């Protein structure tokens, strides 16, 4: 096993959750124009995609601007996960995270995601194998339980077994996942949030890093949660209302963020967009992640509409992007909070 002293130390105070089709490399670079410190996660990438898909750049490529960045893996075979973790470390990722929270039918059928909460020994074996293979941190993102599991006893047993295998960091979505009877979308909202259970987990296992995820929408809520746990992970709100990220560095890390205005963040994206366009990426693949930047601002709807109606067209380039920006009046630096 690689020594713990060789493992990277990441500041996990605030992170953006892995979200399929949303936390792509283009979104992550956009997020980095708003926060230097937020820990970024990839979409879940399955072991099969890494081991058999080509080119690997499609699944593992990222920009140096994205650091610190974690790769979220989906899988259950310890050997395959260890091999993929080693590949990811070679590619330069700062952390490997195992998905034990996704409730979709498709991943369940491959023993991926939340269903693994019913197989804690398998998760423990996977963690042990990955830790043996890499020197970067291996972490787990899980739920507080699935279906009829006991939120106290079964979660305690899961954490105990996986921690004994060497996992020191757990990010816990504070909801159960109901694999029978609820859709993946319903699983994000219908099961009640139980923040108190995650708080009790931290109190009972103070030596572990316990992060919390689920339903958190403001930095005030983040600060409140940090009174009870070690870190906070925000998902849909960070994507749909990206300007909230512009306050993260100041509010949670005590340092000014990289963008004083929304226009400054948009301008900071221009060199990256130009580079990606030269690589053959279509403009809308990048700008679809930025549609919420001017939410609530004069001209914000025109900005969104112009990109939605034009960025997908063949040959759409920076002129389309600049025209959209021109529809939003520039304002003085905003007071963030």
Residues in the chain: 337
The single residue listed with the structure tokens 């939410």 is 295
Look at residue 105 and tell me whether its pLDDT is greater than 50: yes
Confidence tier at 322 by pLDDT (50, 70, 90)? very high
Strands 169-177 and 209-213: parallel
DSSP H/E element including 150: none
The single residue listed with the structure tokens 């996960």 is 81
Question: Which residues does 158 contact at the CB level (< 8 Å), separation at least 6?
Answer: 117, 120, 123, 142
Read off the pLDDT of each residue in 48-62 and give the average, rounded to a whole number: 94
- Secondary structure, 3-state, 120-135: HHHHHHHHHHHHHHCC
Give the residue among 205, 127, 209, 142 at the shortest CA–CA distance from 173: 142
Give the residue among 252, 250, 246 at the shortest CA–CA distance from 295: 246
The single residue listed with the structure tokens 């279509």 is 282
Give the residue among 32, 33, 41 at the shortest CA–CA distance from 12: 41
The whole-chain average pLDDT of the chain stands at 93
Q: Poorest-confidence range of 22-36, 97-111, 148-162, 215-229?
A: 97-111
Look at residue 334 and tell me whether its pLDDT is greater than 60: no
Distances (CA, A) of 275 to 153, 251, 281, 302: 51, 32, 9, 25
Q: Do 200 and 229 touch, CB atoms closer than 8 A?
A: no
Look at residue 182 and tell me whether its pLDDT is greater than 90: no
Q: Which two tokens stand for residue 265?
A: 């963040």
Q: What is the pLDDT of residue 185?
A: 81
Q: What is the pLDDT of residue 162?
A: 98
Read off the pLDDT of each residue in 18-23 and give the average, rounded to a whole number: 96
Q: Which two tokens stand for residue 149?
A: 């599991």
CA distance 165 to 296: 47
Look at residue 5 and tell me whether its pLDDT is greater than 50: no
CA distance 97 to 266: 30
Q: What is the pLDDT of residue 3?
A: 37
Phi, psi values for residue 111, rounded to 5°: 55, 50
CA distance 238 to 82: 31
Task: Give the residue numbers annotated as catalytic, written as ranges.
Answer: 102
Give the residue among 195, 99, 197, 188 at the shortest CA–CA distance from 155: 197
CA distance 1 to 113: 25
Q: Do 177 and 103 touch, CB atoms closer than 8 A?
A: yes
Beta-ladder partners of 98: 73, 140
Give the residue among 10, 66, 77 at the shortest CA–CA distance from 36: 66
Look at residue 106 and tell me whether its pLDDT is greater than 70: no
Cis link prior to 55 (omega < 30° from 0)? yes
Look at residue 336 and tell me whether its pLDDT is greater than 80: no
Q: Residue 172: is it exposed, middle or buried by C-beta count within 10 angstroms (0-12/13-18/19+)?
A: buried
Its pTM stands at 0.93
Confidence tier at 333 by pLDDT (50, 70, 90)? low
């Amino acid at each position: 096993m690689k020594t713990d002293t060789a493992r990277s130390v990441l500041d996990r105070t605030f992170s953006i959750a892995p979200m399929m089709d949303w936390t792509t490399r283009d979104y992550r670079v956009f997020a980095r124009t708003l926060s230097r410190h937020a820990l970024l996660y990839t979409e879940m990438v399955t072991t099969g995609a890494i081991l058999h898909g080509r080119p690997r750049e499609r699944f593992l490529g990222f920009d140096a601007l994205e650091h610190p960045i974690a790769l979220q893996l989906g899988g259950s075979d310890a050997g395959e996960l260890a091999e993929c973790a080693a590949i990811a470390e070679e590619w330069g990722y700062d952390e490997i995270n195992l998905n034990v929270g996704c409730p979709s039918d498709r991943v369940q059928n491959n023993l991926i995601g939340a269903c693994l909460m019913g197989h804690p020994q398998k998760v423990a074996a996977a963690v042990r194998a990955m830790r043996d293979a890499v020197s970067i941190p291996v972490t787990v993102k899980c739920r507080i339980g699935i279906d009829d599991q006991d939120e106290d006893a079964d979660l305690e047993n899961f954490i105990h077994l996986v921690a004994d295998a060497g996992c020191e960091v757990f990010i816990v979505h504070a909801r159960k996942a109901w694999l029978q009877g609820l859709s993946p979308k319903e699983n994000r909202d219908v099961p009640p949030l139980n923040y108190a259970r995650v708080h009790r987990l931290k109190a009972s296992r103070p030596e572990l890093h316990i992060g919390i995820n689920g339903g958190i929408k403001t930095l005030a809520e983040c600060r409140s949660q940090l009174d009870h746990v070690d870190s906070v992970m925000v998902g849909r709100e960070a994507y749909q209302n990206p300007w909230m990220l512009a306050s993260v560095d100041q509010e949670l890390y005590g340092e000014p963020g990289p963008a004083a205005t929304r226009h400054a963040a948009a301008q900071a994206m221009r060199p990256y967009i130009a580079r990606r366009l030269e690589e053959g990426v279509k403009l809308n693949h990048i700008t679809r992640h930025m549609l919420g930047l001017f939410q609530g601002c004069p001209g914000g709807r025109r900005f969104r509409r112009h990109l939605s109606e034009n960025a997908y067209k063949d040959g759409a380039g920076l002129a389309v992007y600049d025209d959209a920006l021109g529809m939003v009046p520039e304002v003085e630096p905003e007071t963030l909070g």
